[in-house]
Amino acid sequence: MAKPIVLTVDDDLDVLRTIERDLRTQYGADYRVIGSESPEKGLDILRQLKIRNDSVALMLADQRMPRMNGVEFLLEGMQIFPEAKRALLTAYADTTAAISAINEANINYFFLKPWDPPEEHLYPQLDDLLDDWRASYRPAFEGIRVLGTRWSPRCYELRDFLARNHLPYQWIDVEQSAQDPETKRLLELLGTGASDLPVVLFPDGTKLLESVPAQVAQKVGLRTRAQTDFYDLAIIGGGPAGLAAAVYGASEGLHTVMIEREAPGGQAGMSSRIENYLGFPTGLSGGDLARRAVVQAQRFGVEILSPQEAVSIRTEGSYRIVKLADGGKFSCHALLIAAGVQWRRLEAAGIARLQGAGVYYGGGASEALSSKGEIIYVVGGANSAGQAAMNFAKYAEKVVVLVRGDGLAATMSQYLIDQIQKTPNIQIWTRATVAEVHGEARLEEISVLCWDTNKVERVPASSMFIFIGALPQTDWLAGIIERDDRGFILTGPDLMRGSERPKGWTLDRDPFLLETNVPGIFAVGDVRHGSVKRVASGVGEGSVAVQFIHNYLSKV
């Protein structure tokens, strides 16, 4: 934890060095002592400290300084750190002036120069002031701070990115805390306006205006560039299937890289509670599962590039070459595609305009806390919708689950249906679809088409979370990898037409179980045609594929 600061200001360098030394000797273990040779510089230091979210315990200034005297400095300093204790150093001749200034400026104490011995004339009084300050001191948050507004799509994208990448941050909603003096002070010091949001403040004092995930990723040191230009195994996609393959591949000696477009964990990372994954009888959140898997993969030496996107692949002899969204590329011998599926879009009038401003696809992890006292709509009847409803019900006043069918039995696991039935603030609205969404800058109402009456009902809604199934995004593989008519990748026996091997196949064996129509390129998890859409099956396929990859590599 960062030490609170004691700032001392004096234009006489000899006096400054002496007071700094005395302060450090007595308080250095618990406080950081900073000296400034001018009040102007002192104020600059205070502004920087505020932006870094440091705490200032005490400001101690010499009264007689040109341009700005000690009292004037302390008065200005007080605007930045109102809680800091304020003390003056004065010469005997200035005592009367100092006393009247003390009364006017609410200064806590004044010390006469010289203060020798400090054990008698300095420390006892400062001990009192610092004890007083400590009594109401709450350590400041030390990580990344994000300033923004709740209904801005850009702010949502950034918060979602931080949450899914497990980067701790403090969220400051500048609209909601507009009356909070601390927020006001911070905004004044930053001199930023609405167009600069989201603003990200880092503990080292740097700030990013109009910040986007890629900039933050770079700043916090997330790796997006490959360290070498060749790997034994490259994995595209960091969901459960890709992570499992990475752990097994690297633990069995393969030099492995994994590329993830958004955040490791994939769809599972968006799940508030996975209750059917073996070995976790009380369930675990997808975020937890992802975090553990990433640590495990890194322990075995897997290189994780995230956020980074694979945009094309090609083959050159036994090399498989992957091109990345930032123009970078590398080659590998074996390639595993574990790119999963992405949310299907809901067709309803006005919906695109409000995406990120009350309308969200999946996720919602970063939104749940903000939904306190609100009416939330969850669209969809599968397990993902059920988990989200249960999660929101902890905070929201009411959660309405909109389903097209007659009920949940055909699409949701019984354990979730049971939980929902026991949760009084969840309502199921069956045989209904969203026809239109309304709102200027954010979602305010939705129009719901009721199938039984064929009437449209317009209801208030602050947020709507959509979970209506998912499809693979594999167009970037067209012309190289064989897919079915919905874009799922064909592997192993699905590629065979009778005893005929896939077109262009050059080896004298059939494709392995999880191998695509290109030797050495494998596909696992939800992106694979015919796969079971579960965490455990993705993990299973990811680990099994490594066995086939070893077989393949033994003959390259």
Ligand X SMILES: Cc1cc2nc3c(=O)[nH]c(=O)nc-3n(C[C@H](O)[C@H](O)[C@H](O)COP(=O)(O)OP(=O)(O)OC[C@H]3O[C@@H](n4cnc5c(N)ncnc54)[C@H](O)[C@@H]3O)c2cc1C
In the complex, the residues that contact ligand X under the rule CB under 6 A are 236-242, 259-262, 266-268, 270-271, 274, 276, 309-310, 338-341, 362, 383-384, 387, 525-527, 533-536, 538
- Residue whose CB is nearest to ligand X in the complex, by number: 340
CA distance 530 to 348: 30
By C-beta, is 79 or 276 nearer to ligand X?
A: 276
Assigned token pair, 67 = 């341009």
Closest separation in Å from C-beta 262 to ligand X: 4
Judging by DSSP bridges, how do beta strands 85-90 and 109-112 pair with one another?
parallel
By C-beta, is 10 or 309 nearer to ligand X?
A: 309
Backbone phi, then psi, for 331, in 5-degree steps?
A: -120, 165
By C-beta, is 341 or 346 nearer to ligand X?
A: 341
Tell how far CA 170 is from the center of its chain.
10
By C-beta, is 161 or 512 nearer to ligand X?
A: 161
202 and 215 Cβ atoms separated by less than 8 Å = no
Backbone phi, then psi, for 63, in 5-degree steps?
A: -70, -45
Tell me the C-alpha to C-alpha distance, in Å, between residue 227 and each of 165, 233, 304, 519: 21, 14, 10, 25
**Helical packing angle, 414-421 and 383-393, nearest 10°:** 30
Identity of the amino acid at 12: D
CA distance 513 to 539: 15
Q: What share of the chain is helix, strand, coil (3-state, %, to 5)?
A: 35, 25, 40
By C-beta, is 234 or 400 nearer to ligand X?
A: 234
Assigned token pair, 188 = 């004044």
109 and 157 Cβ atoms separated by less than 8 Å = no
By C-beta, is 148 or 362 nearer to ligand X?
A: 362
Residues in CB range of 546: below 8 A, 6 or more apart: 233, 245, 248, 249, 252, 254
By C-beta, is 260 or 303 nearer to ligand X?
A: 260
Q: What count of other Cβ atoms lies within 10 Å of the Cβ of residue 145?
A: 21
Closest separation in Å from C-beta 40 to ligand X: 50
Closest separation in Å from C-beta 230 to ligand X: 19
CA distance 500 to 493: 10
Collapsing DSSP to helix, strand or coil, 33 comes out as: strand
Q: Which residues pair with 208 in a beta bridge?
A: 200
446 and 437 Cβ atoms separated by less than 8 Å = yes
Closest separation in Å from C-beta 152 to ligand X: 23
Q: What count of other Cβ atoms lies within 10 Å of the Cβ of residue 445?
A: 14
By C-beta, is 43 or 216 nearer to ligand X?
A: 216
Closest separation in Å from C-beta 462 to ligand X: 20
By C-beta, is 58 or 270 nearer to ligand X?
A: 270
Closest separation in Å from C-beta 409 to ligand X: 17
The sign of the dihedral angle between the CA atoms of 515, 478, 217, 240 is negative
By C-beta, is 149 or 256 nearer to ligand X?
A: 256
Closest separation in Å from C-beta 257 to ligand X: 11
Closest separation in Å from C-beta 261 to ligand X: 4
By C-beta, is 174 or 257 nearer to ligand X?
A: 257
By C-beta, is 22 or 260 nearer to ligand X?
A: 260
Closest separation in Å from C-beta 312 to ligand X: 9
CA torsion, points 278, 284, 286, 291, in degrees to nearest 10?
Answer: -100
Closest separation in Å from C-beta 322 to ligand X: 9
Identity of the amino acid at 133: W
CA distance 191 to 279: 52
Collapsing DSSP to helix, strand or coil, 372 comes out as: coil
Closest separation in Å from C-beta 351 to ligand X: 19
Collapsing DSSP to helix, strand or coil, 230 comes out as: strand
Collapsing DSSP to helix, strand or coil, 274 comes out as: strand
Closest separation in Å from C-beta 105 to ligand X: 57
